[in-house]
Amino acid sequence: MARSILCSHLIPSISSSVPLKSSLLLQWPNLSKTSHSMLLINRRFSAAKISMSLRAGIVGLPNVGKSTLFNAVVENGKAQAANFPFCTIEPNVGIVAVPDPRLNVLSEISKSKKAVPASIEFVDIAGLVKGASQGEGLGNKFLSHIREVDSIIQVVRCFEDNDIIHVNGKVDPKSDIDVINLELVFSDLDQVEKRLDKLKKSKASNPQTKMKEEAEKSALEKIVVALMDGRPARSISLTDLEKDGIRHLCLLTMKPIIYVANVAESDLAEPGSNSHVQDVTNLASELQSGLITVSAQVEAELTELPPEERIEYLASLGVNESGLGNLIRATYNLLGLHTYFTSGEKETKAWTIRSGMTAPQAAGVIHSDFERGFIRAETVAYDDFVAAGSFSAAREKGLLRSEGKDYIVKEGDVMLFRFNV
């Protein structure tokens, strides 16, 4: 059966979707000499960016605190960055800023009119129960939602509360994690077996196609062994060619996972003393996944308080910061993402790139024309920019470098692109 799959390929870019039109001028210093058509960006830009931002799906069994956490993340995000174009695309999808103190520092130095953080889309994916891969609960609908995200945040209930029913009758993180893993594994197994059957029957004669299919087949043969054993596809090491070969399948168990241990407020100060948290910690490390401890309830309550009272409330629980910043940051890091900045009077902006991206590719995240017409990038490390106080001072001190098309952009680079189209 032909199946069309919409999945995300980790493309933090608006490139192809937005035509370059002259309705918004980004004022970056020192660029005016290079090209007449440079830096003119369509206003539809921000809308397009939103739809292309990275997606993290919040999953877990019913009543573990997914929606509570989702709402807290979204509400907190709104409060963090008033300038940011937040929106709730659907009731269960929210866009949140990636907190980054460097943004405000740069913005002040450049006297920017606004500061625009990098963003991540969070999706509250309801409906997972045992048997989802066989169509129980929302079943396949639920699984198709997971297929569309770049990373998975699994909320695991570690709080005891007799008033809140646990679907399996008791709080048991290991069993919860197993249930979800198995549903994802079953779903992938089904897909991989079908695909392998198809590849075995393939009559491709084009050498290029043949080579690609061979790589895909060899990857799937390794993966199927892991899946049969209940292990995720991501536990298998694959060559680059094999990884490329299976990317189109958007396998659920290839996606990176962060476990969120949702604890009672009384456990927040010392989460390690809760045996459920210990279980999640051990499993997360076994599964080579990240772990964050939060109290979704506390986070939800915090969003209702004025900022000055939040610190007091957190202090009364024995902690000094909210867990949401950590969660958002961890999600960003889990995806292997980096940030570079553009900074000028008009705005200071954090841009998301994958690690290893070259200067033209990084420029392409702003607009495909920037990549196509790339000439050079003037680049200064964040600390050097802050120490110098401006692009021109950085240039005088020899801290601003002119980099070519092979330059690999580093975390925190502050950049000016010269391009010509």
Ligand X SMILES: Nc1nc2c(ncn2[C@@H]2O[C@H](COP(=O)(O)OP(=O)(O)O)[C@@H](O)[C@H]2O)c(=O)[nH]1
- Judged by the rule CB under 6 A, the positions of this chain that interact with ligand X are 60, 62-68, 159, 161, 164, 262, 264, 295-297
* Residue 325 contacts which entry, ligand X, Mg ion, none (Cβ below 5-8 A, type-dependent): none
Report the residue number, 29 or 62, with the smaller CB distance to ligand X.
62
Residue 397, classed as helix, strand or coil, is coil
Closest CA to 370 of 8, 28, 9: 28
User: Is 80 one of the binding residues for Mg ion (CB under 5 A)?
Assistant: no
The minimum distance between CB 28 and ligand X, in angstroms, equals 43
The minimum distance between CB 60 and ligand X, in angstroms, equals 6
Residue 251, classed as helix, strand or coil, is coil
Closest CA to 362 of 305, 405, 332, 329: 405
User: Is 71 one of the binding residues for Mg ion (CB under 5 A)?
Assistant: no
The minimum distance between CB 67 and Mg ion, in angstroms, equals 3
Q: How many residues sit in the footprint of Mg ion (CB under 5 A)?
A: 3
* Residue 358 contacts which entry, ligand X, Mg ion, none (Cβ below 5-8 A, type-dependent): none
Report the residue number, 39 or 58, with the smaller CB distance to ligand X.
58
Residue 339, classed as helix, strand or coil, is strand
The minimum distance between CB 119 and ligand X, in angstroms, equals 23
Annotated binding site for ATP: 63-68, 263
| Binder of Mg ion out of 34, 67, 80, 278 (CB under 5 A) | 67
Residue 239, classed as helix, strand or coil, is coil
3-state SS string over 273-302? HCHHHHHHHHHHHHCCCEEEEECHHHHHHH
Report the residue number, 263 or 350, with the smaller CB distance to ligand X.
263
CA dist., res. 59 & res. 362, Å (int): 31
The minimum distance between CB 266 and Mg ion, in angstroms, equals 23
Report the residue number, 262 or 379, with the smaller CB distance to Mg ion.
262
The runs of H, that is alpha helices, within 248-389 are 275-286, 296-303, 307-316, 324-334, 359-366, 368-372, 382-388
Report the residue number, 215 or 296, with the smaller CB distance to ligand X.
296
Element containing residue 253 per DSSP (H, E) = none
Binding site for Mg ion (CB under 5 A): 66-67, 126
